[in-house]
Amino acid sequence: MVLKTDLSCEQLEERLAALHQVSLELVQDISIDSLLNRIARIACEQANAAYATIGIRTERGHLEQFISVWNDEGQVFSQPHPPINMNLINAIADASNPVRVMDIQTDLGLVAFPEQAPRIVSLLGVPIYQGGRNLGQIYLVDKITGDGFTQDDERVIETLAAYAAVAISNARSYDELHERDRTLTRRIQDLALLNNLASALASITELDDLLKTALNRVINYFDVEVGEIFLDQEGQNFLSRAIHLGDAVHSIWNQARFTLNESLIGRTARSGNPSIVGLPYRHDPFLRNQALVDAGLAQIACFPLTSRSEVLGVLSIALTRDDPLEDIDRQLLSSIASWVGTTIENVRLNIQGRRLAVLEERERIGMDLHDGVIQSIYAVGLTLEHARLLLEEEPAQVRTRIDQSIEDLNSTIRDLRAFIMDMRPRQLYEENLMDGLRRLVKEFQVNSLVETSLSGPSEGLENLPDPQAIALFHICQEALANVAKHANASKVEVSVWTTSDRVLMEVHDNGRGFDPEAVQLTLGHGISNMQTRARNVGGDLDITTVPGDGTTIMAWVPHTRDIDPMAME
C-alpha cells in the first residue's frame, strides 16, 4: 500500500502546532465523559473523518466505555453508540500499533456499516498508551475526501493519542481522588452518626425512649419514609411490633406479631442476616404490598438487632429509592442495628437489676418488720392482755404493765422512724457534700430523737468530684441508719476535714458498740457496703468499736481519681 502524504513539512508543522494548542485544553478537563467526547471531536476534525469513536479499557483490559461523534459538513455531533460494526472494533482492539487501511471490507473482510450498502470505507485505528499500558483506542472511519487516511493523519492522531493518554490518566486520578474524598466524607458522617447515637443511647434507661431515639436517627439520616422495630418477647418464640414511625403508611406489615417462621421479620431474626427486597414482593403474604406501592415506596430492608450471638429483634425500614442500598449503607445499618441490640440488652439487664433490687429491698424490709416492729407490737399486745387479766385480781400491777406498753410502743415508733429514714432515696439533691450532710443529720435527729452534731469546713469541698462526695454521703447515711437501729446511743458526732490530698469523715456514737466478730449477724451488709463505696472511689474505711463504749467509723476519699462507674450507683 502506498502511503499518502499531501502536506508539506511546513503545513504538517502548522497542523501539529494547532493540534498541540487544542490538546493542551484536554488536560484541564477532569470529567471523563466530557474528555472522551472532546478527544473524539478533535480526532474527527483533525483527520477530516466522517466518524470517530473512542473506546476506553477497564482495569481488566476490556474495551467498555465508548464515545462516538459524526461529522456532517464540518459540524461534529455526538451519538450514544459506535456507528460502526463492533466486530471491526474487536478485530483491531488489541493492536499495539496504528492500523490504517483504505477499504475495511477488502483489507479486513468486515463490513463497516452493516445497515448501509457496501462501499469503500477507510479506517485509521490508533492505540492510546501510557507507560506501556493500553488505555484504549481511537477509531476514525470513512475519510470524507474519499482517498483514505494518510500517514500525516496517522502522525497527527498518534500525537493526539499521547495527549489523550495524559488527560485520561489525570481525569481517572481526579475521579479516584474525588471518590476517595466522597467515601472519607461519608465515613466521617457515619462515624459522627454512630458517636451521636451511642451518646444518646448511653443515657437512656427506658426501652421505649431507646427505640424511639434509635429509629428517629435512622429515618432522618437515611431519608427513610417508614420504620418499625420488632422485639422478641423474653421466654416466648415470637416477635412483636414495639414501635412504628412514619406517616406514609400506618404499618408495613399486616399483623403486629410474627413467629420465627413467618415473613421477612421472622426469617431475618432466625437467620441473623439482613433481608432487602424490592416492591411489590409477592413471596411474603404478610407484607402490605399494595399500600406500600401506592405510597411510593420501592423497597423494604430488614436488619437483625443482635447482641453477642443472640438476635433480640428486627429493624424494618421502607424506602422510596429504586436503586439498591449501597454496601456502605448496608454496613452502617448493620452496625446501628447491632449497637441498638446491645443497648436493648443493657436496658433489659438494668430493668431486671432494678426489679431484683426492689425484690431484695422488699425482702429486707419484710424481715426487718417481722423481726423488729411486728414482734415488738405483738409483745405489747401480750403485755396489754396480761394487764387486762390483772385488772380485777391485782389492779396495782396494771399501771406498771400499761407504762411498760407505752414505753414499748414509743420504742416501736422510733424503729418505724428508722425504717422510714433508711428507705429514703440516697442522693445529693444538687448540693455540695456539707449541705447534703447537714440535711441528712437534721432528718436523722428529727426521726431518731438522738442528739446529733456536724462539724466541717465551710470552704474547700466545692471541687470535690461527685463520685467521692456521693460515696461519703452514702457512708454517713448507712452509719446513721445503723446507729438508729442498733446503737441505742444518745449522741452522735459527724466530723469532716481535709488534707492536701484527701477528704476525711468520722461518725462517732456513744452507744453500746458491738463485737466485730458478730458484725454480720447484727448489721448485715451495711459495713461491707460502706467499705465497698469508699474503695470504689480510691479511698478506704475503718471501724473502731468496743462493746459498751460506742462506735467510730472513719472514711476517707481522694480529692481526684479515675472512678469505678459502680461508685455512682
Beta bridge partners of 492: 452, 509
**Alpha-carbon gap, residue 284 to 165, rounded angstroms:** 52
Q: Is the pLDDT of residue 80 over 70?
A: no
In the predicted structure, residue 499 carries a pLDDT above the cut 80? yes
Binned at pLDDT 50, 70 and 90, residue 285 comes out as: very high
Residue spans of beta strands (DSSP E) within 218-260: 226-232, 238-245, 257-259
pLDDT value at residue 244? 95
Give the separation between CA 456 and CA 467, rounded to whole angstroms: 19
Q: What is the CATH number of domain 9-175?
A: 3.30.450.40
List, for residues 397-408, the tens digit of each pLDDT value: 778 878 877 877
Q: Which of 49-53, 250-254, 289-293, 297-301 has the lowest mean pLDDT?
A: 49-53
Residue 412 in contact with residue 420, Cβ under 8 Å? Answer: no
- The beta strand positions in 266-382, using DSSP E, are 275-278, 299-307, 310-319
Q: What is the pLDDT of residue 199?
A: 81
pLDDT tens, residue by residue, 286-328: 999 999 999 999 999 999 999 877 899 999 999 998 888 888 8
Identify which of 19-28, 45-54, 58-67 has the greatest average pLDDT. 45-54
CATH superfamily of the domain spanning 426-568:
Histidine kinase-like ATPase, C-terminal domain (3.30.565.10)
Sheet holding 238-245, edge to edge: 257-259, 238-245, 226-232, 310-319, 299-307, 275-278
Contacts of residue 379, defined as CB under 8 A and 6 or more positions apart, other chains included, come to 408
Q: Lowest mean pLDDT: which of 103-117, 179-193, 416-430?
A: 416-430
Say what the pTM is: 0.52
Q: What is the DSSP string of 154-170?
A: HHHHHHHHHHHHHHHHH
Kindly state which CATH superfamily the domain 203-350 is placed in.
Answer: GAF domain (3.30.450.40)
Q: What three-state secondary structure class fits 535?
A: helix
pLDDT digits (tens, 9 = 90+) for 409-467: 877 777 677 666 665 445 565 678 998 899 888 878 876 778 999 999 988 788 888 88
Q: Whole-angstrom Cα distance, residue 545 to residue 547?
A: 7
Dist. CA 451–CA 445, nearest whole Å: 6
Single out the residue of 87, 242, 264, 52 nearest to residue 164, CA to CA.
Answer: 52
Q: What is the pLDDT of residue 375?
A: 61
Q: Rounded distance, CA 203 to CA 215, Å? A: 16
3-state helix, strand, coil in the chain (%, to 5): 50, 20, 30
- What's residue 569's pLDDT? 44
Residue 566 has pLDDT above 50, yes or no: no
Residue 438 in contact with residue 454, Cβ under 8 Å? Answer: yes
Q: Could you give the C-alpha distances from 289 to 143, 267, 299, 323, 349, in angstroms and in order?
A: 58, 18, 10, 18, 37
Mean pLDDT of 14-30: 69
- Per-residue pLDDT, averaged over 180-184, amounts to 85
379 or 153, which is more confident: 153
Higher pLDDT: 266 or 439? It is: 266
Domains of the chain, residue spans:
9-175, 203-350, 426-568
- The total of other beta-carbon atoms located within 10 Å of residue 561's CB is 14
Q: How confident is the model at residue 518 (pLDDT cuts 50, 70, 90)?
A: low
For residue 568, pLDDT beyond 50 = no
Mean pLDDT of the chain: 82
Q: Do domains 9-175 and 203-350 have the same CATH topology?
A: yes
- Most confident range, picked from 26-30, 115-119, 480-484: 480-484
Q: What is the pLDDT of residue 19?
A: 67
Least confident of 16-20, 59-63, 238-242: 16-20
Q: Cα–Cα distance between 434 and 441 in angstroms, integer?
A: 10
Rounded to whole angstroms, how far apart are CA atoms 86 and 91?
A: 9
22 against 179, higher pLDDT: 179
Q: 211-229 as b/e, with b when 16 or more CB fall inside 10 Å?
A: bbbbbebbbebbebbbbbb
Q: Cell match 439533691: residue? A: 429
Question: If DSSP states are collapsed to H, E and C, what string results for 371-389?
Answer: HHHHHHHHHHHHHHHHHHH
**pLDDT over 70 at 532, yes or no:** yes
C-alpha cell at 91: 478485530
Q: How confident is the model at residue 525 (pLDDT cuts 50, 70, 90)?
A: low
Residue 357 binned pLDDT confidence (cut-offs 50, 70, 90): confident
